Amino acid sequence: MSIQLKVPSVGESVTEVEIGEWLKKVGDSVEKDENVVVIETEKATVELPAPESGTVTKIVKKTGATAKVGDVIGEMEKGAVEKKKPDRNEQPSKQPTKAEKKEVRAEPPREKKPASKEAEVQARVMPAARRVMAVAGLTAEDVEATGPGGRILKEDAERAAHPEAGAQEKEPRGSADDGEEEVVPMTLLRRKIAERLVAAQHTAALLTTFNEIDMTAVQELRRRYQDRFQRKYATKLGLMSFFVKASIEALKEFPALNAEVRDTEVVYHNYHDIGIAIGAGKGLVVPVVRRAERLSFAEIEKAITDFAERARENKLRPDDLQGGTFTITNGGVFGSLLSTPIINPPQSGILGLHAIQDRPVAVDKQVVVRPMMYVALTYDHRIVDGREAVTFLRRIKELIENPSRMLLEV
């Protein structure tokens, strides 16, 4: 019996997707709930599982094609999957079975390297890229890395595994020899990011205010309790949980920054779903920590760590990125000293964090060196006044410089 593989509903606002890597080719057997194809949405990457066990008989939409929710992208024939023991002497095909994938991973590298060097190379390979390389039988030396810090991304591995596809995606302009320009289609995620940023500039009255924060107290707390915190909760005590907690307290005092404009009305949210901007392999994503006001420091840190790991592996679900009432972004992890973040529509505020630098400051009329961070608040001036924005940011400063006040709620 023929079974159609259709694009599933991947979020109420998602109507179009891009077909990613086909994990199975025509003729491959597949078990029920085994993933068949990767689907790229404007918000996240999802994998389509087989509804029944059987054999893939047709690929309707190839990698890189666009499709709408409900479109048929492939077909398979229902039937029992015969499990056969893999022949170790058999050469692996371009897309081997699960058992063969393990065998490919177990093969020694082409060139023997010191263990420490090999570990260093493997650390630069992102998990999603590692899977593609294992299927194609590639090593890190075969792949040109384009990620930050020399990291090998999934796209890098796919280009190395399918050079002919890469040649189609990158159409050179002008002379083929000069290499002065190349045209690369924007991914669905990148197009959506562009649309939302432009929409924010066109629909909201954006203004940014700045302040600086002495991070001495937070750094001392982290230094003093880090080991105990990590043993008890199995996660590190980072900076972000302090700023999430401080933002919630400040948002309670200035609810307009936790609101949104809907037509001619202002909608105030009596809950705090905090978006945390994370740089992933394919662009910036903003997963949301739901009802953050109910969470402890440890629960916030665990949620953010989980989001970061899944973002690196392109495993965030569309639901992870829906909604959000306020956003925090930390450009400091990339070395940014100062910036003006753009709000995430329809939100009315975003808090930008930056790099911590030791700088001379005046304390009790004495010049001392302290770890200082510039912070920026971009807000929608349609519903947030300048006085509210400045006072909000000053409240953040007070709470971070005296973190015990967050625990006492004073």
- Of residues 119, 127, 131, 163, the one with CA closest to residue 144: 163
Is 385 marked active-site?
yes
Is 354 marked active-site?
no
Q: What pairing do the DSSP bridges indicate for beta strands 326-330 and 274-276?
A: parallel
The Cβ of residue 407 has, within 10 Å, a number of other Cβ atoms equal to 9
- Of residues 245, 218, 256, 208, the one with CA closest to residue 376: 208
Q: State the Cα–Cα distance between residues 170 and 100, nearest whole angstrom.
A: 32
Q: Which burial class, exposed, middle or buried, applies to 37 when counting CB atoms under 10 A from its CB (0-12, 13-18, 19+)?
A: buried
- Of residues 403, 374, 359, 360, the one with CA closest to residue 222: 403
3-state secondary structure of 14: coil
- Of residues 232, 193, 243, the one with CA closest to residue 344: 193
Q: Which helix (H) or strand (E) holds 100?
A: helix 98-106
CA angle 200, 202, 205 (to 5 degrees): 75
CA angle 210, 212, 217 (to 5 degrees): 145
**Residue among 71, 269, 306, 381 flagged as catalytic:** 381
Q: State the Cα–Cα distance between residues 28 and 210, nearest whole angstrom.
A: 57
Contact 53, 78 (CB under 8 A): yes
The residues, ordered by sequence, that sit 6+ positions from 328 with a Cβ below 8 Å of its Cβ are 240, 243, 244, 247, 274, 275, 276, 277, 350, 351, 353
Q: State the Cα–Cα distance between residues 129 and 152, nearest whole angstrom.
A: 7
Q: What pairing do the DSSP bridges indicate for beta strands 349-363 and 326-330?
A: parallel
Pull the structure tokens for residue 213. 């924060």
Contact 38, 65 (CB under 8 A): no
Residues found in the chain: 410
Tell me the catalytic residues. Answer: 381, 385
